[in-house]
Structure 1
Amino acid sequence: MPALQKELNILIADDDSTTRYVLRLLLREHGHQVVAEAQDGEKAVELCGMFKPDIAFLDIDMPRMDGHSAAERIKQAAPGVGMIMVTNLPTLGNVQKALQIGISGFVVKPFNAVKVVEAIDHCMKQKR
């Protein structure tokens, strides 16, 4: 498993409370701080503007605003935020759209610690 250099401030946006809970535990276990959580894309954009996290985990399929739209808005509101998509639908269309927006990585549900850590490492390398 890749080693993480420092504690990161992270936002989690997913309409599923269980997914947020599991991801929060996993991130904390690896020494990271979850600074905010959102149940929908609109709230994720608002919270990213307020907290300016190092990384935002965004579910693609959320109410009020999907992850793709939220990512585009976050890029404008808080350009330094790295973004990782979380999805149970890793279709070619979803992946292509996310890459066009500038998403740094994907974590497919159900996820495991190794995949999450790899996505964080990749995201941080792209930010440098």
Structure 2
Amino acid sequence: MGRLVKACAVVAVAASLGLGLTGCSAAEKTVAYTTSSVTLEPGEALVVDFGEINPTVGDAWVITREPDPAVLGPGDERSRYLGQDGETGAPSEVSYRFAPVGDGTTVIQFEYEFRGAVPEDADDQQTAEITVTVK
């Protein structure tokens, strides 16, 4: 991981000097988890937004089908706690970020879990499937 950070730092410095290198781009396209398909431009990362969930009570969205590694990198879960300092039990904003690797089309699938399992009640079961094309 240290090499990746150093590589991104070198690219950032080179880009700021106008050398035009690409690779660790900060460009992102954010979509809701209910989106069925999305097209990314070269260097543009995908962010899948799950909105507010409450992990403190057991809510979670998990990847059930990883993207093709030739098209997108593995999902990096992001979470921002919405409670006050010292407060417990507040929700978080949750998303997954996928960095582009190469051109092509792939599918990512997610499933909602409560306390580590798919809810038994069909009304509480949720899935998401997004077809991603990188040009």
What TM bracket, shorter-length normalisation?
under 0.3
Identify the structure with the greater helix proportion: 1
Q: TM-score, normalised by structure 1?
A: 0.28
TM-score by length of 2: 0.27
Kindly name which structure, 1 or 2, has the bigger radius of gyration based on alpha carbons: 2
Higher RCO (C-alpha 8 Å, min separation 6): 2
